[in-house]
Amino acid sequence: MDIEEVKRRAGPREFSPKDDMPEEYRKAATRMIQFHANSEIMGAYLERPFIREAPSLDRKLACSAKVQDEIGHGQLLYRAAESLGMKSRDQMLDELAEGKGKFLNCFHYPMSDWVETPMIAFFVDGAAMRRQATLKRTSWEPYAHAMDKVCFEEGFHVKHGEAILHELMTGSKAEQEATQEAFEEWWPRIIQFFGPTNDKSTHHGFASEVGLKQMGNDELRNAFLNAYIPKAEKYGLEIPDEPRIRKNDDGTYEVVEEDLDWDEFFTIAKNDYEGSIQQIDGRKAAQDAVEWVREVMDEHEQRAMGASKQQAAD
C-alpha cells in the first residue's frame, strides 16, 4: 500500500498486521506506541515507592494494583508495537534502559512525598485518559484494541487518585497546604503534558493524516482544562497565576505559552534533564540486577530445545 492510499483509507481501526503497510507508516506508529509503552513502565517506576508509603491497608492494595496495571499496559502496548514488525520488545526495553527510549514529560520528575501521588494518579492520569480515549479510534487496530483495556483500567486509577486528593484536601491544614504546594509544582508540567501547540509539534501532521493521532495537542489540552480546572477548584486547590490561562468567549481555554519553560520541556524530550537521567538510570540498575535471571532462563530454554531436538533425532 502506498502512503496516498493509507491517507485515503485512514479511519478508526482500519489497518492491521494483515495489511501491507508502507515503512513510513510503520515507523510513525512504532514511535508513537513505543513512547506510550515506555511511559507506562516509567510511570510505574515513579509510583512504586508509594506502595510502601500508603497510609492504609486498602490504599496499599490499590497502589500495588495500579503499579501492576501500568506494567500490564506496557506489556500490551509493546505487543501492539511489535505487530508493526519494526522492533522487538527486548529491543524497545533495551532502548529504554540505554536512555534512547522516549517517554512522557511528567515521569521525568522525581517524586518524594505522598501528597504528590494525586498529581500523577489524578491529573496526569486524567490527562492521559483524555488522549487515550481518542486513541480507541486510531488507525492501527492492535493499538486501538489495547486502548480498550487500558482505558477501562485508567478509569479506576483516576478514581483512586481523586479519592487520595479528596482525603488530603479534607484532612488537616498541614495536609491541605502541602497538597497545594505539590499542585503548584506539578501544574505547569501537567499543562505541558499535551506538548507544544500544534504548529510547533514536529510529528503531528503525518500522524494525523494517516489516522494514528485522532486529536491535536490544543484540542486535548482544552478538553482537559475544561474538565479539570473545575475539579481542582472543587477540592479546594487554587490554580496558580502562572502559566496564565485565558478563558475565551466560546468556553475554551488558552494557555499563554511563553509562561511555560519550553527549554526544560525539550531537554526532557531528549532525556537530558537531570531527573530523566536519574529515573532512567535507576530503572536500568534495577533491570541490570536481574540480568542473571534472564541469562539463566535463556540457557534453560536453549538446553530444553536441544534436548527435544535430541529426542526427535533418537
Partner 1 sequence: MAAKESLPAPGELSDDQREAVEHLLYRLADDEFVAAERYTEWQVRSPTLESDLALANIAQDELGHARLWYDLLEDFEYTESELVWERDADEWRHSTLVEQPFETGDWADVILRTYLYDQAEYIRLEALEDSTYPRIRDRITKIIQEEDYHREHAENWMARLAEEKDGLERLQGALDDLFPYALTLFAPTDETVEDRIDDLGLRSKSLDVMREEWLDVVVPYLEDLGLDVGDAELPEQYDVHHSEFELPADVGRDRSHTDAWFDLQEEFTNTYRELDRHEANRIMKDPDEA
Contact positions toward partner 1, by CB under 8 A? 41, 44-45, 48, 51-62, 64-65, 67-68, 71-72, 74-75, 78, 113-114, 163, 167, 171-172, 174-175, 283, 285-297, 299-300, 303
One-letter amino acid identity for 257?
E
Q: From the CB of 72, what's the least distance to partner 1, in Å?
A: 6
Looking up cell 504528590 gives 116
**Cα separations (Å) of 139 from 29, 47, 156, 175, 214?**
9, 31, 26, 45, 9
Of 1 and 286, which has the nearer Cβ to partner 1? 286
294 burial via Cβ count (<10 Å: 0-12, 13-18, 19+): exposed
Of 256 and 305, which has the nearer Cβ to partner 1? 305
Q: From the CB of 56, what's the least distance to partner 1, in Å?
A: 4
Of 21 and 42, which has the nearer Cβ to partner 1? 42
Q: From the CB of 155, what's the least distance to partner 1, in Å?
A: 15
Q: From the CB of 292, what's the least distance to partner 1, in Å?
A: 6
Q: Tell me the helices (H) and strands (E) count for the chain, helix number first.
A: 14, 2
Of 74 and 196, which has the nearer Cβ to partner 1? 74
Which residue from 139, 9, 133 is spatially nearest to 80, judged by alpha carbons?
A: 139
Of 293 and 313, which has the nearer Cβ to partner 1? 293
Q: From the CB of 290, what's the least distance to partner 1, in Å?
A: 4
Q: From the CB of 228, what's the least distance to partner 1, in Å?
A: 22
One-letter amino acid identity for 68?
Q
User: Is the preceding omega at residue 12 within 30 degrees of 0, hence cis?
Assistant: no
Of 16 and 75, which has the nearer Cβ to partner 1? 75
Q: From the CB of 90, what's the least distance to partner 1, in Å?
A: 10
Which residue from 18, 24, 20 is spatially nearest to 3, judged by alpha carbons?
A: 24
Count of beta carbons in the 10 Å neighbourhood of residue 159:
14
Of 68 and 226, which has the nearer Cβ to partner 1? 68
Pairing of strands 253-255, 245-247: antiparallel
Q: Are 186 and 115 in contact (CB under 8 A)?
A: no
Of 23 and 113, which has the nearer Cβ to partner 1? 113
* Sign of the CA dihedral with 43 first, then 46, 49, and 53 last: negative
Q: From the CB of 278, what's the least distance to partner 1, in Å?
A: 15
Q: Are 1 and 38 in contact (CB under 8 A)?
A: no
Cell readout for 9 is 483509507
